[in-house]
Every structure is written in C-alpha cells, then in structure tokens.
Amino acid sequence: MCNRSVALIQREIEKIGISTIGISIVRRFTEEIRPPRAVFLKWPLGHPLGEPFKARQHTTILRRSFNAIKEIKEPGAIIDLPYKWKSKDWEDQS
C-alpha cells in the first residue's frame, strides 16, 4: 500500500475519534503526504520497527511511537526518534 493511501486511511480513522501514528523511514514522503502524526527513524527501507528478530527493539519503537500520539499537538507534526540503526547501545538512546 502506498504512503498516500496510509495517510488517507489515518485521516479517516481520526475523523471517528481514534488517534493514529505513522512510523516513517522516508522523511521526504512523510512531509509531502502529512499524515495526522508520525515518528521518523533514519533506518533502511523495510525495517520500520528495527532489526529482524530484535523483539526488545521493536517494543521500544512501538512504545515510543504510541507515546508520540500524546506528545504531538499539531496535525502533520513529525517527531524524529533518536535511535541509530545497528547501534550496540540503541536502547539507551532516549
């Protein structure tokens, strides 16, 4: 599904009162389509939650993304998450 479709779906879900968050790994596309809320990670394509088989890493990204729902006050805002790809101490980068 293309990014624009996802943003349109997010907007429709938001219209009925459910908050959404997008996890972006291509900032330019996210800036263009302006979903209601998004977090950005400078990670390789196809890995929005992190490295394969790293459940703690995936959980951290999901929790941080859900927290961003409360933090973002302006529609279309993007929060840059500080985590680095393949960092040995990625869990300490908050």
CA 74 to chain centre: 15
Residue 66 scores a pLDDT above 50: yes
Share of the chain above pLDDT 90, in %: 67
pTM here?
0.84
Q: Which residues pair with 24 in a beta bridge?
A: 40
pLDDT at residue 28, rounded to an integer: 94
- The side-by-side arrangement of strands in the sheet containing 22-24 is 22-24, 37-40, 77-80
Domain boundaries defined on the chain: 3-92
Residue 92 pLDDT greater than 50, yes or no: no
Q: How many Cα atoms within 13 Å fall on the side-chain side of residue 11?
A: 11
Tens digit of pLDDT for each residue in 24-35? Answer: 999 999 999 999
User: What SS3 class is residue 85?
Assistant: coil
